[in-house]
Every structure is written in structure tokens, then in C-alpha cells.
Amino acid sequence: MSLNDKSVVVTGGASGIGLEVCKRLLESDAKGVAIIDILENVDGIGQLRSTYPEKNILFIKADVADKTAIDEAYEEITKSFEYLDIVVNVAGIFNDLDVSRTIGVNIGGIINSTFAAMNYMSKEKGGRGGIIANMSSVVGLDPLFLMPVYTSTKQAIVGFTRSLANEIYFEKAGIKFIILCPGATITQLFTNFTEKIIFPDMGDVAYRVLDRLHKQSPADVSKCILSAIEQCENGSIWIIENKQLHPIKMTRYWTSIEEKV
Ligand code: NAD
Ligand code: MG
């Protein structure tokens, strides 16, 4: 899929990886970008607008965990965008001490934004199909013992997104789904890490583990994300580590009956 002339929604697009995704989308000549975020990054978004004055750049302050707010956000976005072509669901948090908020934002947020987007993108509903990319993590594939709550939400995103990548939905809606699994990336997400882990006595181990991880910048990751979107294979899962994109296949242990008929 070419990004040229596409209208895109990016949740969590006000900072970190999301903001870099927005920059690169505009650089790749997307037609417009709508950012849904709770953070009002006036400077960052102002800079995008001054660099790309001809583009439609919207900012909507909304909490992805709030279904009503997200439904309203999409309603507003689709008033400015004729069609919605691409959604990149990036918004997420790390704080294993706040279990319900972590679940609400990381899982609830992805679900709210995905369903709201499908409503406008689905060919059955007058849309023209497109692609929805959901942000998981390497820990969405293999657990990291230090962060069991965060890990569980990132694994849930994999299950949710793989369910929707079924051909049955694609034939109806024309929407492809992909899963993004970056490794450690230097952003605000893990600041004060040891204050947000659930077992405080793991602090020393945590620092040793974090030290050993390969680190990459949000700009490196965003480049890989755009390349995964361009390749546009329904159900594809991408590890992004060492500034590189690695497609992976999940082993299947069980197949549902309806897929065989
Ligand atoms: P970040 O904290 O720099 O950016 C997250 C963005 O999401 C921020 O702009 C924040 O305001 C926004 N956000 C948070 N809660 C929100 C809410 N309830 N509603 C709307 N917006 C909200 O972090 P980041 O590292 O850029 O993380 C982006 C995504 O990438 C997250 O889902 C994270 O889990 C995932 N990820 C990060 C890493 C990493 O090492 N940084 C690795 C793998 C996956
Ligand atoms: Mg992660």
C-alpha cells in the first residue's frame, strides 16, 4: 500500500514512537494525519503543521480508554477526512502498579479505537477498506518476567488483532490488520521504571536486564512501522529490533472449526 494521499489516524501520536510515525507519514506524502492523545504537545504538533502547511493535521484530545470519547473523536475526524485509510494504534502506558488503568488503556484503548475505525473504514459501511496497525511489543510474543501486567496487555493485543485478521472479516470489510512488536525503544514510557514494577525487590535485576537490551530510537522504529504498513499483509506480525523489521510466523496449535468449512 502506498502512503501517498492517505488519511491516517494515529493514537498516542503526540509524543514518542507515535509522533515519529506522524512525521514519517507526512514525509511520505500522506494526505492528512489525525492524532488522538491525552497529551497536548503544542510544540511538537505546531512543528508538524509548520513543516507541512498544506496537510490536514488534526489533534483531538481524548483518552483511548474512554469508549464514548473515542467514538466522538472518530466522528469528528471523519468530518474532515473524506475517507479513513490507515489507523496506527500506538497509545499505551507502562505502570504495573495500576492494573486497571493499564488494562483500560493498553487493551481497552486498542479495542475502542479499532472498532470505531472499522465503522468508517469497512466497505460494508461505505468506507473503502484499509489497514489497521496495532502496537504490541516483543513482550507481546514472549513474556518479560519484570512486567507481568504490561506483558499480559501486549499479548492480548496480539490475540485481538489476529482474530480480526481472519479472511472472513477481510472479505466483508476490506480491512487488513497488522501487529507491531518493537523491542526496547528510548522514549518516556519506561522512565522511573523501578517505581512502576509490581515486585520492588526486582529493582536491581531490572536494571541489569534493561542494560543488556538493544536500544533503538523512536525514529528508527517509525521507519520500520511505515515499511510494515506499506507491505500490508493481512495478519502479519513484525518484530522491530536493532532498527530492523523482522516478519515472524506464529505456530498454530489449534484451528477453529469454522475455518475448515
Ligand atoms: P510514550 O510514553 O513516549 O508515548 C505514548 C503516547 O501515548 C504519549 O503521547 C501518551 O500521551 C499517549 N497516551 C498514553 N495514554 C493514553 C491514553 N489513555 N489515551 C490517549 N493517548 C495516550 O511511549 P512510547 O514508547 O512511544 O510507546 C508507544 C507505544 O509503543 C506503547 O503502546 C508502548 O507500549 C509501545 N512499545 C514501546 C516500547 C518501548 O520500549 N518504548 C517497546 C515496545 C512497544
Ligand atoms: Mg513494550
Q: How far apart are CA 228 and CA 175, in angstroms?
A: 15
The answer, yes or no, to whether ipTM is higher than 0.85 is: yes
Instruction: Give residue-wise pLDDT tens across range 23-82.
Output: 999 999 999 999 999 999 999 999 999 999 999 999 999 999 999 999 999 999 999 999
- In this structure, are residues 185 and 218 in contact, taking their beta carbons and an 8 Å threshold? yes
Instruction: Give residue-wise pLDDT tens across range 217-257.
Output: 999 999 999 999 999 999 999 999 999 999 999 998 988 77
- Phi then psi for 181, rounded to 5 degrees? -130, 80
Pocket test for ligand 1, best of 59, 93, 186, 225 (most atoms within 8 A of CB): 93
- Does the pLDDT at position 3 exceed 80? yes
In the chain, alpha helices (H) = 16-27, 42-51, 67-80, 99-102, 109-121, 148-164, 167-173, 203-212, 218-231
Ligand nearest to the CA of 16: 1
Residues flanking ligand 1, CB < 6 Å = 11-12, 14-18, 37-39, 63-65, 90-93, 105, 109, 135, 137, 182, 184-185, 187-189, 218
The pLDDT value recorded for residue 259 is 64
- Phi then psi for 206, rounded to 5 degrees? -60, -50
In 109-217, alpha helices (H) = 109-121, 148-164, 167-173, 203-212
* Angle ∠(243,247,251) on CA atoms, nearest 5: 135
Instruction: Give residue-wise pLDDT tens across range 90-134.
Output: 999 999 999 999 999 999 999 999 999 999 999 999 999 999 999
Q: How far apart are CA 20 and CA 133, in angstroms?
A: 15
* Domains observed in the chain: 7-260 (3.40.50.720)
- Phi then psi for 222, rounded to 5 degrees? -65, -35
Instruction: Give residue-wise pLDDT tens across range 141-176.
Output: 999 999 999 999 999 999 999 999 999 999 999 999
- In this structure, are residues 152 and 106 in contact, taking their beta carbons and an 8 Å threshold? no
The pLDDT value recorded for residue 256 is 79
